[in-house]
Each structure stands twice: as C-alpha cells, then as structure tokens.
Amino acid sequence: MSSSHGICDGYGTCQCEPPFIGEDCSIKDCKYDCSYNGYCSVEFPVSRCMCNPGYFGEYCQYRECLNNCSFPNGLCDYTTGDCACRQLYNPYNNLESYADWSGIDCSFLLAFCGGWRMEIVWGGVVGLLGVVSFLILQ
C-alpha cells in the first residue's frame, strides 16, 4: 500500500484509517457526512459532497434563501435559510424610516403614499386617486 492510510491484512483487504476509503485506502471520504444534507460522491483522490436542493457549501452546510432575499432588499441567514428584510427611509428625510421590505423573500413593499392626479373630464376637475380611495373606504 503506497498511501499508508491503512493496514492490509495479507488476504487482499485493507482496513483504512478515517477519513480514507477504497480498496487501497487512497480516496479521502467526505467530511461531516455532507452535513446530512446531501450525499458523498466518491472520486479519486478526494470525494466531494453533492448537495440536496436548497443547500450549498463544501459540506452542504448552508441553506439557500428564496430568491437570495431579493438582494439588496434583505440579507440571508445561511444557517436557517430565512431572510432579514431591510428598512427603507423617507426619500426626503434619510433619518426617518417609513417602510420595511416584507414577504418571505423581501420582495413586497407597501405603497409609501398616494397623491392626487387632477384631470379635466367633460369640463370638470376630478381627483382620481381621491375618488378611488373614497370608494374603497366606503
């Protein structure tokens, strides 16, 4: 045995020391059992983890977040796979917060404000958003 990572018993089998595997103990096995989130693809000279969907990393130790939390709207916590959504600030006063991104992937934002849009319709002036909001609230 040229790699010296195990002991051969003289009958054609070798007892390998961890983390080495194979007939001649020349292949290094995956560490941490791929965090139980994937399987080990045995390749010479070093095996690698093949992660299940939703996991990534050298040992499949990280969780993916949905749509990467719509970055830069949120940051991903790779241990849980949850998003931490960021807060938005008033465009006219950067010290005043007015809304948070929300949703499981931080892609949803409530409207900041509505304004009046004046139009002349058949000789009269109508505030469209005012009429619509009045009808919705009724």
Q: State pLDDT tens for residues 54-74.
A: 999 999 999 999 999 999 999
The answer to whether the bond into 72 is cis (omega within 30° of 0) is yes
Give the mean pLDDT of 29-58.
92
pLDDT digits (tens, 9 = 90+) for 88-99: 888 888 888 888
* Shared-domain flag, residues 20 and 53: yes
* Shared-domain flag, residues 38 and 74: no
Say what the pTM is: 0.62
Please check whether residue 106 lies inside any domain of the structure. no
* Shared-domain flag, residues 57 and 67: no
> β-pairing, 14-16 with 6-8?
antiparallel
Please check whether residue 11 lies inside any domain of the structure. yes
* Shared-domain flag, residues 51 and 77: no
Residue 81 structural domain: 63-100
Please check whether residue 80 lies inside any domain of the structure. yes
Q: Using alpha carbons only, how large is the chain's radius of gyration in Å?
A: 30
